[in-house]
Every structure is written in C-alpha cells, then in structure tokens.
Amino acid sequence: MRERATPLFLERRSYRQRRLMDAARLLPLLGVLLWLIPLLWPQRDPAGEVAAVSTSSAILYIFGVWVLLALIALFVSLMLDSKAETADDGNV
C-alpha cells in the first residue's frame, strides 16, 4: 500500500489463493516451455558428426517434466481445495 501511515490489513491467505490461481493458469505454459526444449537438442545425424541426445536421457527428461507438472498440479489443487472446503485453520 502506498500510504505507510495506516497499516492496511490484507488477508494473507486470500492473497495466496489468488497467486495460486495464477500458478494454476501458468502451469500449462510451463509445461509447453519445458516440452519445447527437446526441439533444441541435437538430432540424430546420419553423418554422425554431432552426438545426438540419447533416447534414455530424452525419456528421463520428458517423464521428469511430466512428474514435475503432476506434482505442481497436485500442490496447487490441494492448496486451492483446502481453502474452498475447509476454512478452519484460521491462523492468518
């Protein structure tokens, strides 16, 4: 708040809630970005001059991103859930 004299009260949790909603909105964009990165990897080259990324590391990366996205989605939905359904841990 601009005015320092009056200590304006903003509830932290609802602020957090809205940031969580922002996170929920941004999550697919994060997924798109992370899954676009493999396109930058060196490809299999018939001439064999550049060492291509091995499929095993590609699998690890892609599935790692997958797990990461699922975990973030789990976190976000749990946090949003707890607000919407049980609002009784009121230590603001």
Partner 1 sequence: MATLNILIAVCLAYVALLFAVAFMAERAALKGRGNWLRSPWIYTLSLSIYCTAWTFYGAVGYAARSGLEFVTIYLGPTLVMVGWWWALRKMVRIGRTQRITSVADLISSRYGKSGLLAVCVTLLALVGITPYISLQLQSVTLSFSSFAVSDPVGASLIADQDTALWVAVGLALFTILFGTRNLDANERHHGVVMAIAVEAVVKLFALIAVGVFVVWGLAGGISPMLERIDASDIGQWQMDGGRWVGLTFLSAAAFLTLPRMFQVLVVENEDERHLRTAAWAFPTYLMLMSLFVVPIAVIGLELLPAGSNPDQFVLTVPLSQGQEGLAMLAFLGGFSSATSMVIVAAIALSTMVSNHIVMPIFLRLTQGGVNGPSDVRHVVILARRLSIGVVLALGYLYYKISGGGSALAAIGLVSFAGLAQLLPAMMGGIFWRGATRNGAFAGLVTGFAIWAWCLLLPGFGGGVLPASVMADGPWGIGWLRPHALFGIEGMDPLLHAGMWSLLLNAVVFVIVSLLSFPSPLERLQGAQFVNIFDHSDNPQSWSGGIAQSEDLMIMAQRILGPEMVQGFFQAEAARQGLAGYLPEPTPDFLARLERELSGAVGGATAHAMVAQIMGAATVSVEDLLAVADETAQMMEYSSQLEAKSNELTRTARQLRAANDKLTQLSVQKDAFLSQISHELRTPMTSIRAFSEILRDAEGLEPKDLTRYATIIHAEAIRLTRLLDDLLDLSVLENGQVNLNIRDGLLSDVISHAIAASGSDMHTMRVRRTGPAAEVMLTTDHDRLAQVFINLIANAQKYCDADRPELTIDVSRRGGRVIGTRRIALLPSKPRGIHPIPCGPTLMGLGCCEE
Residues of this chain that bind partner 1 (CB under 8 A)? 6-11, 13-14, 17-18, 21, 24-25, 27-29, 31-32, 35-36, 38-39, 41-44, 52-56, 58-59, 62-63, 66-67, 69-74, 76-78, 80-81, 83-85, 87-90, 92
Q: Which two tokens stand for residue 4?
A: 């320092």
- Minimum distance from residue 65 beta carbon to partner 1 (Å): 9
Tokens 């601009």 sit on residue: 2
Closest among 33, 30, 58, 31 to 43, alpha carbons compared? 58
- Minimum distance from residue 28 beta carbon to partner 1 (Å): 3
- Minimum distance from residue 21 beta carbon to partner 1 (Å): 6
Q: Which two tokens stand for residue 53?
A: 């990324």
